[in-house]
Structure 1
Amino acid sequence: MLRLDADHVLRLVQPGDGAALARAYTANRDHLAAWEPVRSDEFYTAAWQEQQVDQCVADADSGRGYRFVILSDDGEIRGRMNLNNVVRGAFRSADVGYWVDASRLRRGLGGHGVSALVRFAERDLSLHRLQAATLLDNTASQRVLTRAGFTVIGMAPQYLHIAGEWRDHRLFQRILA
């Protein structure tokens, strides 16, 4: 568990997080809609989220991905930080993804969380490179990434299907060791 600030910690997703994740996603449904794929109503249920928790745990056990939750001191999930698509061998790379609860924006949680992911990727996973992508108009996430040492490496047309459309994304990377 990593302390992000006086009120929040970062920890790996663990069995039993499904109900809390369902509450967090439901509370942030409108906030996240512009930045994520279209979600079915089932996505917001504790049962569906617990199935995803099982996949997160299996991915961490196999080294394929590491999904974290941002926990507030009241025990509620206030966001996610993810290292996805971990590749070993000559590439030693992963993709970074994250979101922060709408009620916790502009408190530095995104920056603290991304910095913690960078330290974890370098220290614990011995990765060489991290990549992240943002929508072209997501300047807040672009600032978070830039402050965490990521640099722009290009633009990917129609990169991800977000909010029902194929959207262009700005690509970032950070070289670690």
Structure 2
Amino acid sequence: MIIPGEMLPGGVLLRLLSGDDAEALRSAYTANREYLAPWEPRRPESFFTVEGQAARVAEQLLNFSERRAVPWVIEGDGAVIGTITLSGLTFGPFRSAYLGYWVAADQQGRGLAGAAVASVCRAARDRVGLHRIEAATLLDNAASQRVLEKNGFEPIGMAPRYLHIDGEWRDHRMFQRILHDGPPEN
């Protein structure tokens, strides 16, 4: 699967995750630890180390090689300022995946999340061959809901106690985007 990088607004690069990204990810997650805490699972201290990120990168790259995920980083001025991932790739008649993303606190309001989601939707349709993408947000995450809706995602319901976020099972608003209505490709 060939997934080219793409320039986003302000000279920011969306590119596939690399085996060399562990230190940059450690730095990004450490700098955004408090900002991300209400929106993510609780992380062990090892998550915020180069070794912890190297293990995550290796797992994500294995998932990519086995066509189970497509992990990208959002890079500005040589630093990782966010990530976006298609995970749980399913082929056959379903041809679907889950979308997850974040952008650094000091990069908010630049349109980067929306541009990254738009780019990933194009890649999912044109390069990966998916029919749909599903995403979930916490009920009170209005900013992420706006990003999804601006990118053609439609709300499809609410999932009670969907993910364990910040120490408790939290309800999520579910979204999907249909990418095309053509027949599945091999």
State the TM-score, normalized to the length of structure 1.
Answer: 0.98
Counterpart of 2:164?
161
Counterpart of 1:101?
104
Distance 2:61 2:129 in 1: 20
- Percent sequence identity is 49
**What displacement does 1:82 show?**
0.6
2:43 paired residue among 39, 43, 50: 39
**What displacement does 1:7 show?**
2.4
Q: Partner of 2:9: helix, strand, or coil?
A: coil
Cα deviation digits, residues 30-78 of structure 1 (max 9, x gap): 0000000000111000011011111111111111001100000x21000
2:135 paired residue among 124, 132, 136: 132
Structure 2 residue identity aligned to 1:16: D
Counterpart of 2:12?
8
Structure 2 residue identity aligned to 1:79: G
Structure 1 residue identity aligned to 2:174: L
Cα deviation digits, residues 1-32 of structure 1 (max 9, x gap): 11111220101111111011000000000000
Q: Partner of 1:63: helix, strand, or coil?
A: coil
Distance 2:81 2:119 in 1: 16
Q: Partner of 1:9: helix, strand, or coil?
A: strand
How many residue pairs were aligned?
A: 176
Counterpart of 1:145?
148
State the TM-score, normalized to the length of structure 2.
Answer: 0.93
Structure 1 residue identity aligned to 2:6: L
**What displacement does 1:156 show?**
0.2
Query: Following TM superposition, where does structure 1 have runs of at least 4 consecutive aligned residues deviating by more than 4 angstroms?
Result: none
Structure 2 residue identity aligned to 1:15: G
Distance 1:17 1:120 in 2: 21
Counterpart of 1:90?
93
What value does the CA root-mean-square deviation take over the aligned residues? 0.6
Structure 1 residue identity aligned to 2:123: F
**What displacement does 1:80 show?**
0.4
Distance 1:158 1:169 in 2: 7
Query: Unpaired segments of 5 or more residues in structure 2?
Result: 181-186
**What displacement does 1:106 show?**
0.9
Counterpart of 1:60?
64
Distance 2:58 2:14 in 1: 18
